């Protein structure tokens, strides 16, 4: 029997012919893609292509109308509240931090129940010990340090620049020690320097000492996806029009047509670097 998966293995996520309809509108049509363990896979496409819908299907916010998903080869019916237990974490568009909590408390709040309480405590439903609490706070501080924002641990999120809050949101996702991280437009609202730094960070995720993970990145920002993704899937009008390495996708005439035929931001057309 193969050994049980560890964080270093990542998760093998696959979509098989997934379709989503909103009434008469086809938002996703026969979409198949795979995020193999330890890989960074980007999903791109012009406005309205279906990227957010795809993200919402994987998170369990939107049920597919057709097709199916698998996780490590087994049937997967995503439910938002079960993702953490399966080793999946996500960051949403914007930041979504709790305004009444400090940065550190926000990160601690992202820990899975098992990580919060320690395995035995979680198993038997015992109250968390002070030692568990201290360990978790230290882990949160270490993550904030890894992401370069430890100096803001005691601050209220609202007082911080947007780019710092985005990093805090990433730390909150990582404290759950995900084997798969879903990032929804992480570069949204960031300036060019911040996007470069974000690219450096994302690139390290599959090899993090604290727990490697695969990444599915849904993003508008072409510079970011080209810099960090090993594989890309391009959606247009809900269909996969191209898939491959960033170089293969960049040279695909269907992709150029999809982007140039649409009203897209300058950086998406390659003018932002
Ligand atoms: N809840 C919904 N009800 C009805 N139509 C929807 C819903 N969500 C999305 N759509 C439609 O589905 C299509 C795909 O939208 P989606 O938001 O997934 O695209 P996107 O690629 O994320 O776009 P953008 O880059 O502009 O965020 C669009 O035509 C959109 O109007």
Q: Is the CB of 53 under 6 A from ligand 1?
A: yes
Q: Which ligand 1 atom is nearest residue 49's CA? A: 21
Determine the distance separating the centroid of ligand 1 and the alpha carbon of 121, expressed in angstroms: 42
Distance, in Å, from the CA atom of 225 to the CA atom of 270, rounded to the nearest integer, reads 11
Query: Could you tell me if the CB of 215 is within 6 A of ligand 1?
Result: no
Specify the CATH number of the domain 1-87+177-273. Answer: 3.40.50.300
pLDDT, position 110: 84
| Ligand 1 pocket: which of 44, 49, 62, 63 to mutate (most atoms within 8 A of CB) | 49
Ligand 1 in reach of 27 Cβ (< 6 A): yes
Domain limits of the chain? 1-87+177-273, 96-175
CA distance 196 to 200: 7
pLDDT at 192: 85
Please tell me if the CB atom of residue 63 comes closer than 6 angstroms to any atom of ligand 1.
no
Q: Is the CB of 24 under 6 A from ligand 1?
A: no
The rounded Cα 152 to chain-centroid distance in angstroms is: 23
pLDDT value at residue 266 = 46
Contacts of 116 (CB under 8 A, 6+ apart): 108, 122, 128, 132, 136
CA distance 244 to 223: 16
Q: Would you state the pLDDT for residue 255? A: 85
Structure ipTM: 0.96
Q: Whose CA is nearest to atom 29 of ligand 1?
A: 48
Question: Does residue 199's CB lie within 6 angstroms of at least one atom of ligand 1?
Answer: no
Nearest CA residue ID for atom 10, ligand 1 = 27
- Cα of 215 to ligand 1 centre, how many Å? 22
Residue carrying structure tokens 């982007």: 259
Contact yes or no for 18/69 (Cβ under 8 A) = yes
Residue 206 in contact with ligand 1 by CB distance below 6 A:
no
Which stretches of the chain drop beneath a pLDDT of 70?
A: 1-10, 94, 112-129, 209-211, 260-273
The CA 29 to ligand 1 mean position distance, Å, reads: 13
What's the sign of the alpha-carbon dihedral 135, 200, 101, 106? negative
pLDDT on residue 209: 63
Nearest CA to ligand 1 atom 14: 50
Q: Which tokens belong to 248?
A: 């293969």
The reported pLDDT for the residue numbered 112 is 64
pLDDT value of residue 5: 47
């Amino acid at each position: 029997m193969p050994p049980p998966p560890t964080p270093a293995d990542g998760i093998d996520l696959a979509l098989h012919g997934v379709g989503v309809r909103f009434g008469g509108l086809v938002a996703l049509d026969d979409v198949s893609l795979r995020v193999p363990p330890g890989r960074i896979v980007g999903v791109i496409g012009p406005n309205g292509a279906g990227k957010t819908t795809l993200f919402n299907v994987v998170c369990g916010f939107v049920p597919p109308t057709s097709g199916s998903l698998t996780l490590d080869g087994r049937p997967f019916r995503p439910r938002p509240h079960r993702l953490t237990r399966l080793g999946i974490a996500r960051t949403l568009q914007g930041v979504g931090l709790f305004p009444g909590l400090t940065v550190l408390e926000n990160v601690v709040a992202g820990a899975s129940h098992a990580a919060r309480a320690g395995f035995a405590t979680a198993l038997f439903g015992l109250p968390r010990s002070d030692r568990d609490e201290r360990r978790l706070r230290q882990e949160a501080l270490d993550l904030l340090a890894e992401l370069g924002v430890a100096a803001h641990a005691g601050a209220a999120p609202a007082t911080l620049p947007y780019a710092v809050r985005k990093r805090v949101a990433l730390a909150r996702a990582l404290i759950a020690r995900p084997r798969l991280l879903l990032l929804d437009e992480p570069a949204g609202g960031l300036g060019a320097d911040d996007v470069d730094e974000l690219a450096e960070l994302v690139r390290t995720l599959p090899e993090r000492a604290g727990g490697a993970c695969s990444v599915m990145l849904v993003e508008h920002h072409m510079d970011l996806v080209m810099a960090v993704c090993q594989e890309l899937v391009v959606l247009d009008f809900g269909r996969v029009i191209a898939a491959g390495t960033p170089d293969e996708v960049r040279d695909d005439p269907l992709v150029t047509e999809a982007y140039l035929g649409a009203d897209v931001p300058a950086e998406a057309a390659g003018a932002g670097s």
